[in-house]
Structure 1
Amino acid sequence: MGIRDLYRACTCLQANLFSINGRRAWDFSLRHHSTQIPESSRLSRMLLPTKKAARSVQKTNNKSAEGKAQYTTTDVLTKAGYIFQSSVGIYTLMPMAQRVLSKIIRIVDEEMQRVGGQKLQMPTLLTPEHWIKTGRWESTGAELFSFKDRKDATMILAPTHEEEITATVKDMVRGYRQLPLRLYQTTRKFRDEARARSGLLRAREFIMKDLYSFDMTKEQAIATFEAMEYAYRRCFDRIGVPYVVAEADSGNIGGSLSKEFHFISKAGEDTVLKCHGCGYVANEERARSTVCINDGVDVYDMVAKEGNQVLGKYRVAVPAGHEVSVLKIRQALAIGMRARLEITLSGTHSVDRVPEVFQKMATELYSTSDITCYIDRHSWKQMMANQSLETFDGYANSKGPVLGDWHVAKPGDICGKCGDGVLESQRAIEVGHIFHLGDKYSRAMDFKILYNGSRDYVQMGCYGIGVSRILQAAAECSNADGRGLRWPLAIAPYLAVIVPLDESDSATLDVHAALTNTSIDGEYIFKDNVAVDDRSYLSAGFRLYDAQLLGIPVTVVVGKRFVDTGEVEVQLRVPMLDLPQEIAGAAVKGDGYEHKAYIHFEKLGEFLAQALQSYPGIEGMIGS
């Protein structure tokens, strides 16, 4: 240790002693705190793209209204240094992305543990034994990654863990008093996507939170489902991206009840239908609507087959112009995932011929035992409004048609829930899905527990959140002005970045101290959330461009004004933030995407506290 280093150490020790003895305690502690900018907050220490070549991202063929080529959000995330493509559908998540992910995971952890979730970690590498028992080894198909180990044993990379958690709990739980259980993990999953695209939205490797619940009765399991839906709503309320909750299909996961959580975005691959009258929302595949048959009906012939074996023959009548919902028919038939439906349009009939068509279907029901007829409920009600059921020969002595909602709903249909509002379509990105599984997995794996004198199958549920998917979905919903991202405050990698345009360390330290000591309702939300762009080897213009591109909500530019007047430029890129024209005595200018103001650095905390107080998601950050 040199003499200069020894002198500095002694000076620091003396200052600490003064502070302990009460001399200049407040002044020293503030100054001492302000001089400690963490290494993790310095962008000069972070792996970020800095070369122009690294920023030459391939533009898409999409054109804006002005005819200019547009970047996709995947391009922007790559360009900003959040993700790096390793191969098709596989991405490295860079340090900036890890900060976003850690904040998403923290929110999810807090809400899962609030409802009694216990965190564990299951293996990614599984054997197919339990998957064969549940039938998903065959029904999942080519999306399941599988390979042979050196002993020629088949292994799979898990896309989900229903079978594994069921086997684990079955081995450890002996009585109903050990229930309910809510077990979850946040881990990497794998899916061999046929067309991996849209960055993290449809990747082959992804990060997911999955929780599994175990209850003794169906009533208890439904109560868990409702509690988890509320917990999910809290998660997405705190994340701060507008979302909808839609009725959904359970798909290959199984179960009788499921709901999806969607971010509304034109980039979404899903379509949801929403009634603005009663608020009903459902996935396009699941949505219910009321349709008049003024245009007649379409009749389809259907044959269910598994291999070459015919499982059944069916005839389906739906309002003309609407497709048959294969999803709803499959659920009604309760056929396995391996079965296929062959559908043929047998005829389109005008409204005046509908009674004749239904009469013919009734006759077939009476005379042919191997044909089952499915008639759209609303078509039936409309036709029967002025007729008696007995007018159709054979109904009194035979099985009647299966009435239900067998058509695919379309925008413009009347809402099937309230019967009054009109359904409108929106593109959306699915970011969460919750399922009531019932006894699908416990029955397949023979997981029973003695309860009230009999051994009953345990009731299960599963609840998934696409963590890495949220990262890109949130970016999709905020990448609107072409200048860069706009992260919601709760998941932004940093809440603020300081861009010093000269090399004055004291100015940067003063501004850093002002930010970290900013309090909103007693919460120091900027603590450990302030970055400093000290990359002096880059031009000022490049760093200001980067601040917009990265989407950090608050940018504080320390330039020449600071030397002359102590003022800094504040730029706010915060979604859903509506500000007045003056805050803390400073004039505010905005264009709908970004607000700017000049403020003395000593009033910076007051300015930000007032500006962010109106942010819709601030309660979730300070009152969680």
Structure 2
Amino acid sequence: MMLLSQTSRRPQTLVFQLRANSTRLSSTVRHSSTKPLPEPYEQEGFTRLSRFWIPTGGITATKSEDAHAKLIRAGYLRQSHAGIFHMLPLGHRVQEKLEMLIDKYMHQIGASKVSLSSISSQALWQQTNRLEGYGPELFRLTDRKDIPLLLAPTHEEEITTLVSKTVKSYKSLPLRLYQIGRKYRDEIRPRQGVLRSREFLMKDLYTFDYSIQSALSTYEEVRAAYSRLFDELKLPYLVAEASSGDIGGDLSHEYHLPTPIGEDNVISCNSCDYVANEELATAGPIPLDDTTPGPDTGDVPTANVWRGISKDRLTLVNVWYPASFSDDSVNTYAIKSILPELDASLNNPIQYWPSSSEPKPHVHLVNIVDYRLGSPFSNALKTNANLEVLLPSGTNVGLTTITTDFVVSSKDDEPLNLLRIQDGDNCPRCSSGKLKVQKAVELGHTFHLGTRYSDPLEAHVQVPSNLIEDNTESKSTKKMTTVSMQMGCHGIGVSRIIGAVADHLADEKGLNWPRAIAPFDVIVIPGKNLEGDGEGVSHELANSLDTKLDVLLDDRPESFPWKMRDADLVGYPIIVILGRGWDSHDKICEVQCRRLSSVEHVPVRSLVTHVYNLLGQL
């Protein structure tokens, strides 16, 4: 941080600094004028609300007010554009505390912090074949020389290029680099505030090892650090086996917070440790519906058809399933496991199919049959198949060359379950367990990438042959060999955690925060009996409180009921009220903790101990 000279003449600036002996933030006011601050203020161990900007008023609560609306009304953030938000002082404190928490656990695993540019090269993304595959969510731009650039939604290409140019020896590995920075994604429909926005804050940890064994060890270290981090937030998180998606790799786990507003479905067993996201989850054999004939009864059941299309628009997909279900029950992830090129993002894929006005030759038609329909249906479909039945109406059959295939089992000859998993389905891992489906918000994701990026970007390192576990030469040889670095990528959605925690803990009165990321630990509100005696209260308060506590004094010229409503809305973990008991010999304080439904009257000599006891539970 650059310090201002004594001769500068700049407006006062609110600066947040970390106390050396604690993890709390304290606010101080830096003045460039020669007039000093009042001496008592220089020694205060708390923040005055009269000197801390929280925009209040002008926004009325609605009956259906969600947590995002509470964040705005309480003064944490404001929307700038669709899906883009400004963090105000309260929100910034929550964000900084969350970043500090992440820093702590990244440092525990020996990670060094970097700050990568938000601008990346489209040419770099072409090298890894991700430019087109990422789709229209990329913010693309060109500079004045017409060089194609993009606003990075993730930084695998950039960090790999950086490391490949600076690390050549295995002695520099393992290497763990992380950043907390802004990312960009051109969401087609931003929603739910900071949970699904176009600009967001993320923590990315990138790991580099010279062997698979070392990389997997690093992966488990990171997973353990993530668990400790979410444990400190005291959130009921789920760790789910996950698909690696566009990032790549063959091993990944997601960290989810169960919530009704979640966009993901997490499947868990009530008997064993099986937890997976919907993309990867499977179920054991599902009891057939009473209205659906058994698979091998000889009866041909009635079926519905769900239609899809491939990304190149040349493969048409018919998914056949029992008529007792609806299109909403179709699991597109299961279909993509059979046909990876399926474009599942289209609401009306039929409009892209061949028509009488625009015939397309050499179309491939794939019929995929759910196991519930059984072999009688599959056989009847193949035997009586004709294009008028298999194709949607309006398709120009006469001018289109069609190759038709039928898929009735997986590559491993397993039955095809093409419908979404439901509560009560059988667990695929244990014999007695039943599956539960929960809506959830993804907070973090860990990936073992292998050489997905190091191969195309030539991130190589020289390693003695005897250190590579799959080496076929003698273990005693010291011959050097060149290998691609084994990589990992591990993300945490910083701004998303703020929105998810706000939603998870909010109640009808306002927000609530875990102690680890609350903007302040304690707010002190003087009662009516102390109006006009702000300096006396602040002096005694400074002598009574532990400097490790992050304390806010509401010394604003507002009514006591208004301050109490505002404190509940903002969601401070602990509220200390200096009422009539403050005038007594023991100086009794009323200590409230809404989350714990606790209201206690405590003498000031016991205040710190009592507050710490409450905070330890939050």
Q: How far off its partner does 1:90 sit?
A: 1.1
Q: Which stretch has the larger CA shift, 444-453 or 239-248? A: 444-453
Q: Deviations over 1:92-121 (max 9, x none)?
A: 101111111111111111111111211111
Q: Match of 1:375, as an amino acid?
A: S
Cα pair distance change 1:214/1:330, threshold 3 Å: farther
Secondary structure (helix, strand or coil) at the match of 2:215 reads helix
* Deviation of the 1:89 alpha carbon: 1.1
**Shift in Å, 1:210:** 0.4
Query: Which of 555, 568, 571 is residue 534 of structure 1 equivalent to?
Result: 555
Q: Which has the higher contact order (CA 8 A, sep 6+)?
A: 2
CA distance in 1, matches of 2:381, 2:215: 40
Q: Could you say which residue in structure 2 is the equivalent of 1:547?
A: 567
Query: What displacement does 1:610 show?
Result: 4.1
Q: Tell me the equivalent position of 2:25.
A: none
Cα 1:540–1:574 change in 2 (3 A) is closer
Please, what TM-score do these two structures have when normalized by structure 1? 0.74
SS for the counterpart of 1:98 is helix
Q: Is the 8 A contact 1:254 1:437 kept in 2?
A: yes
Letter in structure 2 aligned against 1:496: V
Q: Is the 8 A contact 1:76 1:484 kept in 2?
A: yes
User: Which stretch of the first structure deviates more once superposed, 604-613 or 265-274?
Assistant: 604-613
Q: CA-to-partner distance for each residue in 1:411-458, whole Å, 9 max, x for gaps?
A: 221111223211122221111111111222122323333442654332
CA distance in 1, matches of 2:72, 2:374: 57
Change (3 A) 1:459 1:331: farther
1:21 matched residue in structure 2: none
Counterpart of 1:445 in structure 2 is 457
1:314-353 alignment, distance < 5 Å: 321=325, 325-331=331-337, 335=341
Give the structure 2 partner of residue 375 of structure 1. Answer: 409
Give deviations 1:253-310, integer Å, cap 9, x for gaps: 1221211111122222222122221142222232221123634467979987453555
1:232 aligns with 2:206: no
Structure-2 separation of matches of 1:350 and 1:262: 31
CA distance in 2: counterparts of 1:421 and 1:112, whole angstroms: 36
1:307 is aligned, of 309, 312, 320, to 312
Which residue identity lines up with residue 412 of structure 1 in the other structure?
G
Of 43, 51, 54 in structure 2, the residue corresponding to residue 36 of structure 1 is 43
1:45 aligns with 2:51: yes
How far residue 193 of structure 1 moved from its aligned partner, in angstroms, is 1.0
**Letter in structure 1 aligned against 2:609:** E
- Whether the 8 Å contact between 1:317 and 1:374 is mirrored in structure 2 is no
Deviation at 1:332, TM superposition (A): 5.3
Structure 2: which 5+ residue stretches go unaligned?
1-38, 296-302, 351-363, 385-402, 466-479
Distance 1:328 1:460, change over 3 A: farther
Q: Does 1:500 align with 2:526?
A: yes
Cα shift at 1:43: 0.8
Aligned to 1:8: none
Structure 1 stretch displaced more, 278-287 or 256-265: 278-287
User: Percent identity at matched positions?
Assistant: 33
Distance 1:96 1:154, change over 3 A: same
Cα distance 1:309–1:321, how it changes in 2: closer, same or farther (>3 A)? closer
- The Cα offsets for residues 214-239 of structure 1, whole Å up to 9 and x where unpaired, read as 12232322222211111110111112
Does residue 1:101 correspond to 2:95, yes or no?
Answer: yes
CA contact (8 A) 1:34 1:510 kept: no
What is the alpha-carbon distance in structure 2 between the residues aligned to residue 339 and residue 137 of structure 1?
A: 18
8 Å CA contact retained: 1:375, 1:406: no
- Give the aligned residue type for 2:552: A
Q: Distance in 1 between matches of 2:513 and 2:306?
A: 51
> 1:338/1:153 Cα in 2 relative to 1: closer, same or farther (>3 Å)?
farther
Equivalent residue in structure 1 for 2:431, among 396, 401, 419: 419
Q: Is the 8 A contact 2:318 2:368 kept in 1?
A: no
Match of 1:460 in 2: 487
- Summarize deviations over 1:446-494 as a string: whole Å, max 9, x none: 33334426543322111100111111111111102x1111111111111
Task: Give, in whole Å, the separation in 1 of the partners of 2:237 and 2:133.
Answer: 31
- Structure 1 Cα separation of the partners of residues 414 and 438 of structure 2: 31
TM-superposition CA deviations, 1:374-405 (whole Å, max 9, x none)? 526xxxxxxxxxxxxxxxxxxxxxx9746676
1:90 aligns with 2:84: yes
**5 Å matches for 1:136-155?**
136-155=130-149
Q: Is the 1:216–1:459 contact (alpha carbons within 8 Å) kept by the matching residues of 2?
A: yes
Give matches, 1:50-65, under 5 Å.
Answer: 50=56, 52-53=57-58, 55-57=59-61, 59=62
Using the alignment, how far apart are the partners of 1:350 and 1:162 within structure 2?
40
Q: Is the 8 A contact 2:195 2:500 kept in 1?
A: yes
Find the partner of 2:164 among 170, 178, 181: 170
Paired position in structure 1 for 2:421: 409
Q: Kindly tell me: are residues 356 and 457 of structure 1, through their superposed partners in 2, closer, same or farther at Cα, counting changes over 3 Å?
A: farther
One-letter code of the match for 2:332? V
Look up the SS of the partner of 1:436 in the other structure: strand
Distance 2:371 2:179 in 1: 55
SS of 1:163's partner is: helix
CA offset digits 1:160-185 (Å, max 9, x no partner): 10110111111112133322211110
Q: Could you say if the C-alpha distance between residues 494 and 338 of structure 1 is closer, same or farther in structure 2, counting changes exceeding 3 Å?
A: closer
User: 594, 599, 602: which is aligned to 1:599?
Assistant: 602
CA distance in 2, matches of 1:544, 1:349: 58
**In 1, distance between residues paired with 2:594 and 2:174?**
41
**In structure 2, what is the Cα distance between the partners aligned to 1:454 and 1:357?**
57
Q: Hey, which of these two has a bigger chunk of helix by percent?
A: 1
Aligned counterparts of 1:469 and 1:349: Cα–Cα separation in 2: 37
The letter of the residue matching 1:604 is L
Checking the alignment, whether the CA contact within 8 Å between 1:314 and 1:372 is kept in structure 2 is: no
Mapped pair 1:187 → 2:214: no
Deviation at 1:327, TM superposition (A): 2.6
Question: Are residues 563 and 247 of structure 1, via their aligned partners in 2, closer, same or farther at CA, if it must alter by over 3 Å?
Answer: same
CA distance in 1, matches of 2:322, 2:409: 7
- Structure 1 residues 538 and 349 mapped into 2: Cα distance closer, same or farther (>3 Å)? closer
Q: Which residue is equivalent to 1:558?
A: 578
Identify the residue that residue 515 of structure 1 maps to in structure 2.
545
Question: Partners in 1 of 2:189 and 2:460 — Cα distance?
Answer: 40
Q: Does the aligned pair in 1 maintain the 2:119–2:152 contact within 8 Å?
A: yes
SS in 1 for 2:558: coil
Q: State the distance in 2 between where 1:316 and 1:473 align.
A: 37
Q: Look up the SS of the partner of 1:489 in the other structure.
A: coil
Instruction: Show the counterpart of 1:489.
Output: 515
CA–CA separation in structure 2 for the residues paired with 1:139 and 1:557: 57
Q: 1:401 to 1:291 in 2, by over 3 A?
A: closer
Q: Which residue of 1 aligns with 2:354?
A: none
AA aligned opposite 1:56: T
Is the 8 Å Cα contact of residues 300 and 347 (structure 1) preserved in structure 2?
no
Task: Give the AA of the match of 2:312.
Answer: G
User: Matched residues in 1 for 2:332 and 2:492: separation?
Assistant: 27
Distance 1:338 1:246 in 2: 22
Partner of 2:9: none
Give the Cα–Cα distance (whole angstroms) in 1 for the partners of residues 456 and 370 of structure 2: 45
When residues 314 and 609 of structure 1 are mapped into structure 2, their CA distance, relative to the original with a 3 A threshold, is: closer
Question: Are residues 1:608 and 2:611 paired?
Answer: yes
- AA matched with 1:326: T
Which amino acid is the alignment partner of residue 52 of structure 2?
M
Q: Any idea what SS the aligned residue of 2:246 has? A: helix
Q: Aligned pair count?
A: 516
- Alpha-carbon contact 2:518-2:572 (below 8 Å) kept: yes
The 3-state SS of whatever aligns with 2:145 is coil
**Separation (CA, whole Å) in 2 of partners of 1:265 and 1:171:** 43
Distance 1:438 1:485 in 2: 42
